[in-house]
Amino acid sequence: MKILPLIALTLGTASIAASPLCAQTIQVNKENRTIAVTATDKVILQADIATVHIGFIAYGPDSDTAYASGSRLSNAIYQAVLATGIAKDAIESENQNVSPVQEYQIDKLTPEQKAQRQFQVSQSWTVRTGAADVSKILDVAVKAGANQSGQIDWSLKDQNAAEAEAAAKALQRARSVADQMARGLNTKLGELVYASNEVESEPIRPIIRKMPMGAAIQADQVAPLAINPRQIEKTATVQAIFAIE
């Protein structure tokens, strides 16, 4: 927890304009003396929601063959994920593409390998699920052929509650500092007359794992990846103005 170095005692004639969320103007004068404090605090919570990115890339010597291979993989992956019991509306398509393979993508392959990779089909989805089910979803998708998978975006079911908790902690911190200042001035802290806050989220760094081609070989003998939910930090900065008696 930290206190930003903006702590002001206001004893004079001035006016403080409230934020756009507060239409009133607070008058600061001898009859309404104030202490202004800016404080920051945070909460750290474990993510309980995850968005798993899954997808595949398939090749073929021609467009039709590549498309047929991609179609088989597409439906196999989709059905495998559905079989986990996840709702259909939790699965959303991201992109899908059928295109020729560029020469630079295969320039290190043998002539025989190049001949089999003239066209490519790629497709990807996002799957929204509980944090506890991430490993299972990713595992069944990869074993069904999702060889371009692994990014996970972590989030909270109730973002508002986390933000409110961080703001409440910051306001409590601001009140504590203001009270100490008031006592140092041989006066008593009065009521809160104005407060505003700004909430920030810790940047969520996605986990990206590219599954190699052929990952489905002997897939039943491979255990699911060990994946733990990220911790998400919500930070709130509160500007508070208290009256002093």
Q: Look at residue 200 in the predicted model and tell me its pLDDT.
A: 79
CATH number corresponding to 49-155? 3.30.70.2970
Domain layout of the chain by residue ranges: 7-45+158-202+235-244, 49-155
Q: Look at residue 129 in the predicted model and tell me its pLDDT.
A: 97
Residue 244 has a CB neighbour count (10 Å cut-off) of 19
Instruction: State the average pLDDT over residues 21-30.
Output: 50
Q: Look at residue 25 in the predicted model and tell me its pLDDT.
A: 57
Q: Look at residue 218 in the predicted model and tell me its pLDDT.
A: 58
Q: Look at residue 212 in the predicted model and tell me its pLDDT.
A: 43
Nearest Cα neighbor of 224 from 234, 213, 209 is: 209
Per-residue model confidence as pLDDT tens digits over 194-206 = 999 888 766 454 4
Q: Look at residue 115 in the predicted model and tell me its pLDDT.
A: 96
Per-residue model confidence as pLDDT tens digits over 88-125 = 999 999 999 999 999 999 999 999 999 999 999 999 99
DSSP per-residue codes, 99-155: EEPPHHHHTTS-HHHHHT-SEEEEEEEEEEEEGGGHHHHHHHHHHTT--S---EEEE
Report the chain's mean pLDDT, rounded to a whole number: 84
pLDDT category at 226 given cuts 50, 70, 90 is: very high
